[in-house]
Each structure stands twice: as structure tokens, then as C-alpha cells.
Amino acid sequence: MVLYSPHQIETSDRQPGYIGSSSVSFRQRHIGSSPDAIQQMLDVLGLPSLDALIDQTVPQAIRQKQPLKLEERSEYAALTELKKIASKNQVFRSFIGMGYYDCITPPVIQRNILENPGWYTAYTPYQPEIAQGRLEALLNFQTTIIDLTGLEIANASLLDEATAAAEAMTMSYGLCKTKAKAFFVSNACHPQTIEVVQSRALPLGIDVIVGDHQTFEFDVPVFGVLLQYPASDGTIYDYRNFVDRAKAASALVTVAADPLSLTLLTPPGEFGADIAVGSTQRFGIPLGYGGPHAAYFATKEEYKRQVPGRIVGVSKDVHGKPALRLALQTREQHIRRDKATSNICTAQVLLAVMASMYAVYHGAAGLKNIAENIHKLTVMLAQGLKRLGYGISSEFFFDTLRVELGDRSLEEIQAACLARKINLRILDESTVGISLDETTGVKDLIDLFEIFALTEDLPFTIEEIGASLSDLPVGSQKLQQNPSLQIQNSLIRNSGYLSHPVFNRYHSETELLRYLHRLQAKDLSLTTSMIPLGSCTMKLNATAEMMPVTWPEFGQIHPFSPQPQTRGYQILFQQLEAWLAEITGFAGISLQPNAGSQGEYAGLLVIRKYHENRGEGDRNVCLIPSSAHGTNPASAVMAGMKVVAIACDTQG
């Protein structure tokens, strides 16, 4: 069904067509100036045409000589084609984990934030007078993170968990009072985090030591350490002794922690962590083949001036009433430039808003209930797999199991998974990982048991497996008796969290809907006005562009899904890379950078590597105009370069 009016619209000679017809281009719908408005502006400038304006403003030497070889389509045609591409992705049930989990996006959040231009078209909140709504939502995000991690200050989001860990490394390096140049990373961290930390460390001359925290003796001077909590394979380690030894060695401790697990586990701040980082993806944010998701960064009050990214603070307005604004901005790239704490700019505000409202909607009790249900199902899974003769590597776990296959065939298990459209994490030829999440139910457990039993005739019932658990739904029945948590008594959380009234008021859809509307009404977005500020954050977010984001064929794909299941994404990437290559004139394109700041950093690393490959690694001076965006000099420093600012005239 095409939900467009069939009636012909009033158009000028330059804009013929019907609403929704293929003859109406995307450009005609979204370039806001009408021919009359364009002519009025040209008259003010004393110019006869747009071509004349371009002739006077863009030098001929850099003008595009030929039209771009890009096909133009209507929104309807583009969405139809995109649906065909999406259909080539296969949505499997994912038990891969590794920091990415399927979750339930509450419909009230999906419809009223993710799909609402009042939230996704608003400008960066540099002007607090027109951004009080988003600033309050981000303050809620910071409060959520502070409460869950047990630390004293948090920022308003970063790009992803891996780069947040890298930011923690560079912050620790900057705070180091010794001459140590090494950073220890536990091999229990997610592999993608380890790789990003290693990449970030190289241009700064930092030596990354990857090893087993249980055997590391601090015989090498290190300025910091990175731990995963729970570990990537699901194990819950008691890090307190290791943290004490790190402190004795004058090393700062960073813990990459799953925020949902922290509703049950002792928070990092309570066992001595200096920094906590992680992803809030499982707080209602779709998988999206790896992003975008909002990372978090929390630390101690004493380190607040070294924190990367935005921080929302409480201030007063001109009438003396409480008001919110971005705080401690002298740390940031738009002011400090090459001396900034990071090149991070706007980060992932929309996703941070969603995650914060997920916490607001569920509250402390709701989040804990979700975590307990996931953990109980994981305990049931472990018990059933043991009955089937499999080994479970970890005595203590939250939502992830490391399963030892013994003499069982990995190929047979993979074939059984494929038949049920299920993905597991393959650790090696004799070990697999299974991570459960908010969407997991008893039916999923039965499927997993049948996969590992290689038969549908199980030697036990699900009720028998769950006999030691309570309050877990099995069809219409309830399992009896009390649960036995597979968490060390010493690491069971005793402290409270999310006690602020905002996390205890809006637990019905109508209450949250009204709260979101009140916040939205305080902000300036494209729903109320044009925003005449040119910047890297001013992208066109047309409705047709936002719709596919929530299609399950795109939104429910795990980033480590086998490539044959993601052919749609591969086609999408190839097309986009080809289009961008045509637009930019370059031979190749990378879609990996997660933001403009990360793109320029990646580009500077390419330049650095180019000179090293030519035997000219000493060429490390980067010339940057004083008019350039603040991320430019900040990125150059991160790439190990020396910044030399070039003065500009009044025209920039």
C-alpha cells in the first residue's frame, strides 16, 4: 500500500509531478527554498542566477567539470529498492554477545524519540536556552551511569565501548605521575576493544600489554589497566585483589562494565575502579549491525577536568532558577583545540536519550527484574547443558556461558543452529559462547537444549531444569522454590541506585509520553524552525531516511553475524562506497569511522602510515588553519603529530 494522496499538487514548471510519484525527486521535496525565494535572495545580492553566484564564490580551478554519475530517485522508489536490499539480510536469533545484545525497545520510546523529528533534528545544545529538554534527558543519562557504576561523575555519552576504553587509556596516560609508557589490557576484554586500544596507543608511543590479569605481576611499570566486567566469555571475576595491586603500582584502573549487570553486581566504583566505560546498547537500542549506540564514561570527581566529551551540569538562569547547560567546556576540542582532552564532539546524543528514557521507564525495580530474568534463564541453560554432558567453564556468570564441547562435534552443532536460524559465538574448535538477553524466553532454551542434544527428544523437561528457580514463567505456569544466583556472594550488589524521583514517576506509557512531550517542547528543532547554523552536525534527516533504521532486517542484525547472513548490508556498503567515491573523487572509501572526528583521525593515521612507508616517519608536523574545526587539531595530536596553526584572513 502506498500511503500518498493520488491528487495532483500545485507545482511550478520546474517541479512537475504527483505526491509520491516517481517524477518527484528527493531534492524537490527537501531543498527548502522555492524558486521565488531563491530569486528574492539573488535580487538582494544583485545576481541574475545561481550559476552567477557560484561563479563568484567557487574558483573555476576547483569546480566540478562533469555532472556526477549518480542516479536520482524518488523517496518511494528508493525505499522500494532499499526494502529489496534489506530482504537479503537474514535475521537470526543471536546468542553471540561480545557486548551486543538484542533487546526490547519500548514502543513509547521508539515512536516518540527514535522516530520523532522533534528529537532527532535538534541542534547540538551549545545554546542552553533552546535545549533544556535534551539537556535534562542527558542529565538523566549521566545520573543513570553514576548510580550504576558507583562513581561520581559521568559524561553525556561517547561513540562506542571500544573507543571509550581508548579514551580511558589516554586519560590515564595524561594523569600518570610516573614515566610509565605501558598500559595493561586483560585478555578477558572483548576482542574489538583490545584492537581499538592497540590502534589508538600506537601513534602515542604507548605499549599495550595484553595478558591474563590473574598472573600479571606488575613487574613492568604501567600507568593504567583495563578489565572487563563480566569478562567477554561471561566469567565474573572478583577483581579486588588485582585492583589493590594496581593501585600499589600507581596505575589507574578502568573497568569496562555491562550496565545491566550492574543492577546485580557490585559496581566498579565500590571495588576501587578509577574509570568505568561501556555501552548502553542493551538499554533499548537496536543492534543495527553494530551501531550507532551510546557509550558511557564515568570517573571520580577529582578527574572531572580530564574527562572526554560533553558533560551536562546544573546551573541557574537569569532569574536565579535552576537551569541546565554544558559544563567544563574548556576541556573540549571547540575551545582547547590541540590541547583538548579528546577529539570527541557530539557523540551519540539521540541514543543516549533513548537509553536514559529506558532507565526512566523501567526504574530500578524494572531494570533489576530484567537482569534477574536473564540470569535465571542463564542458570537454567547451564544446568541443562551440564545434564547433556557439556562443561561450563565458569562457576560464576551473569548472562553468558563458555561451553566446553568435549568430544562433541562443532560442525554438527553449527548445522543444528543453522537449521533453527540461531547464531552462537565460536570461541575455538571445542568451545562456544552463549549469551542471553532481554528477548530470550523459555522457548529459546528448549531450542538450545535440542541443538546441543542433537535431538528433539530431551532427557528432561524444562520444569525439571527450573525446579530450583522461582518467578520464572514457563507457559502459563510458574517455577517454584528460590533461585540460586550464580554470582559470588561478595559481588552481589547491596547499594541502591536510580532513587531520584525521575526514575520513579514515569512507568506507564501515558506518563512517559507526557514527560517526553514536555521535554521536546523546550527544544528548538526543525519541527518549529529552521536552524541557521552550518556545522558538521547539520545533516538532513528526512523521514524516508529514518524509516529503515527500525526495519528488523537492518535493526536486528548482530555485528558479528556470519557474512552470508548479511548480504543486504554488503550490497548497501558497496553502493554507498561507490557513490561516495564518485562524489569525492577518491579511489576508495572506508565506512568504519563512527563520526566525523573519527574519520579525520583515521585519515591522519593514513597520512602518518604513508610517510612511514616512504621512510619519512619524521614528517610529523600538521599544518591546520586557525579557522578549522576544533576536532582537526585535537585529532592531529591523537595521531602523534605536532600541530602548527596557520593564521587566516577575515574571509577565513
- Res. 482: pLDDT tops 80: no
pLDDT tens digits for 601-616?
999 999 999 999 999 9
Confidence of residue 536 (pLDDT cuts 50, 70, 90): low
For residues 51-74, give the mean pLDDT: 90
CATH T-level topology, domain 369-491:
Aspartate Aminotransferase, domain 1 (3.90.1150)
pTM: 0.92
Confidence of residue 338 (pLDDT cuts 50, 70, 90): low
CB 144 within 8 A of CB 194: no
Bridge partners of 316, per DSSP, are 322
pLDDT of residue 417: 98
Cα(183)–Cα(578) distance, integer angstroms = 39
CA atoms 522, 158, 234, 495: torsion sign? negative
Average pLDDT, the chain: 91
pLDDT of residue 615: 96
For residues 104-120, give the mean pLDDT: 97
CA atoms 315, 316, 318, 324: torsion sign? positive
Percent of the chain with pLDDT over 90: 77
pLDDT of residue 535: 61
In which residue are the cell numbers 579486588 written? 240
pLDDT of residue 98: 99
pLDDT tens digits for 486-495?
899 999 999 9
- Res. 233: pLDDT tops 70: yes
CA atoms 486, 492, 493, 494: torsion sign? positive
pLDDT of residue 74: 87
Confidence of residue 72 (pLDDT cuts 50, 70, 90): confident
Confidence of residue 5 (pLDDT cuts 50, 70, 90): very low
Conformational region of residue 309, where left means phi above 0, alpha means psi within -120 to 50, and beta covers everything else: left
Measured N-to-C along each axis, helices 132-149 and 509-521 cross at an angle, to the nearest 10 degrees, of 130
pLDDT of residue 605: 95
Q: Return the closest-CA partner of residue 310 out of 323, 328, 322, 293.
A: 328
CB 173 within 8 A of CB 322: no
pLDDT tens digits for 138-165?
999 999 999 999 999 999 999 999 999 9
Percent of the chain with pLDDT over 70: 91
- Res. 480: pLDDT tops 90: no
Would you state the cell numbers that stand for residue 603, as one nine-digit string? 585519515
Cα(188)–Cα(416) distance, integer angstroms = 28
* pLDDT-wise least confident of 30-44, 170-184, 449-463: 30-44
Confidence of residue 479 (pLDDT cuts 50, 70, 90): very low
pLDDT of residue 64: 86
- Which sequence spans correspond to the domains of the chain? 26-86, 369-491
- Res. 83: pLDDT tops 60: yes
Report residue 130: phi and psi, to 5°.
-120, 25
For residues 19-46, give the mean pLDDT: 80
Peptide linkage before 106 cis (omega within 30 of 0): no
pLDDT tens digits for 571-599?
999 999 999 999 999 999 999 998 888 99
pLDDT of residue 411: 97
For residues 225-232, give the mean pLDDT: 99
Q: Return the closest-CA partner of residue 380 out of 464, 476, 491, 260.
A: 464
For residues 265-270, give the mean pLDDT: 98
CB 402 within 8 A of CB 393: yes
